[in-house]
Amino acid sequence: MQHPLNDQKTLNGWALFDWANSAFALVITTAIFPPYFEEMVDEQFEVLGFTFTNSSWFAYLITFSYLVIALLSPLLSGIADAGGRRKWFLQFFTTMGGLGCLSLYFFDGMETMWIGSLGFIVGLVGFAGGLVFYNSFLPIIASPDRFDRLSARGFAMGYVGSVILLLLNLAMVQQPAWFGLPASGTLSVRLAFVTVGIWWLAFAYLSLSRLPDDKRKPGNGLADMAALGWAELRGVWRQMKEYPQAKRFLIAFFSYSAGVQTVIFLASIFAKKELGFETAELIVVVLILQVVAVAGAYLAARISEARGNKFALYFELIIWTLICVVAYFVNGKLQFYVLAGAVGLVMGGVQSLSRSTYAKVIPGGSAGSTVPQDTTSWFSFYDVLEKVAIVLGTFIFGFLDALTGSMRVSILMLAVFFILGMLFLSRFRVTPPPQTSAPPAG
């Protein structure tokens, strides 16, 4: 029996999952863990005869995590599409990520660096792996006319929930006595990691209790579902020659995404290492960035409405390029606050514009399209490409950091990704795809 669509309890439960896992994205990957890692790990150390800086090692952790995620993505996409195990895998990755987050409590110095490294990798893989199944529930629980509104509700709940927890963590770090914690040492920060793990697991399991149960399908083993995922990606790749604008956009998107995601992941560790920001100050920076990002997304939409998607993307990428150049010279905290505001202004904008622009040039993406094409496989391709871009960007950042010993050189070089993105974008036109029948991907 099919689960009834638009059941309010189910819809609310689905949106609650965003409230649960967004805390990891904000607190662990952006606000608190990166500067804490930089502080706990020696500035330079050797592993297996190779020399690393603490910031280059952290960049490589992100590289490795997203390499694993990129390799798993076709399998996960196949599982999500084949159905039957959505809820089980969503619970598996959520539990995995939450436990990885909780393990960070035991990371308190160079001697336990391996715990911090492994816990962060496990948390990041759990977070990204779960998103595939979380998103795949949308057409199962809601009718198409509810997609946009429900997605927006999930985004809003994720934003509000993560900011609430970050404010609690700020109080724990700034006023540990309020919580009966010692004023010195790392306990308050490590307990902040624990609050994220508990928050994530508790609210996610409440969300899961409201989602439809799995209906196992016979004959859909892991190998079959992995083959389905790879077939989707190969199918999109084969069709790409029929959709040249989509291909041109993806090349530009891949280039500038490497820069965008690397800046987002490593901005706080840059502020800690190069400018001496304290954890509490960085939390304030991230809160500013979050608020400005919402306004930035609306600004990008307005520019796009007035001048078109391509012009709006150029506007965003020029600012991203300037951010990288200015970051090389920044030497004061006030300057970095302004720079963080600029990042927030274009962070949400470039991501929302990229997705909406891509939607306009793929099969079935234009108004009045008659192409019988499920866009899921095209967005799976888009998603994998973004993950590979993160692998490339963070690896180059870490390599240059280890080679030169300067994060400033690494972040300056990220400007190349944005310049290349603009060059590739120059050949792109936002034109509807051909209205001809195309075989389904795979």
Does one domain contain both 84 and 121?
Answer: yes
Does one domain contain both 283 and 428?
Answer: yes
Does one domain contain both 63 and 76?
Answer: yes
pLDDT, position 434: 62
| Two structure tokens written together for 321 | 């390029």
Q: Give the end of a domain, one of 191, 209, 240.
A: 240
Say if 118 falls within a structural domain.
yes
The pTM (predicted TM-score) of the whole model is: 0.84
The answer to whether 354 and 313 are in contact (CB under 8 A) is: yes
Does one domain contain both 174 and 302?
Answer: no
pLDDT along the chain (442 residues), means of 10: 79 92 90 90 89 92 92 76 76 95 95 96 93 79 76 80 90 90 89 96 95 73 70 79 86 92 88 84 84 79 84 92 92 88 84 77 56 60 87 92 88 93 88 55 40
Q: Give the end of a domain, one of 214, 240, 266.
A: 240
pLDDT, position 432: 65
pLDDT, position 371: 41
| Two structure tokens written together for 30 | 């952006």
Does one domain contain both 309 and 211?
Answer: no
Does one domain contain both 188 and 227?
Answer: yes
Say if 1 falls within a structural domain.
no
Say if 271 falls within a structural domain.
yes
Does one domain contain both 197 and 346?
Answer: no
Q: What is the CATH number of the domain that holds 159?
A: 1.20.1250.20
pLDDT, position 440: 43
Q: Give the end of a domain, one of 203, 219, 240.
A: 240
Provide the 8-state DSSP code for 436: S
Task: Domain of residue 334: give its range.
Answer: 243-433
Does one domain contain both 282 and 342?
Answer: yes
- H/E element, 52: strand 50-53
Does one domain contain both 300 and 224?
Answer: no
pLDDT, position 437: 44
pLDDT, position 442: 39
Does one domain contain both 191 and 258?
Answer: no
Rounded to 10°, the helix 415-425/244-275 angle is 160
Say if 439 falls within a structural domain.
no
The count of domains in the chain is 2
Instruction: Give exposure, 100-133, as e/b (b: 16+ Cβ within 10 Å).
Output: bbbbbbebbeeeebeebbebbbbbbbbbbbbbbb
Say if 365 falls within a structural domain.
yes
Say if 442 falls within a structural domain.
no
Does one domain contain both 247 and 216?
Answer: no
Does one domain contain both 367 and 227?
Answer: no
pLDDT, position 148: 62
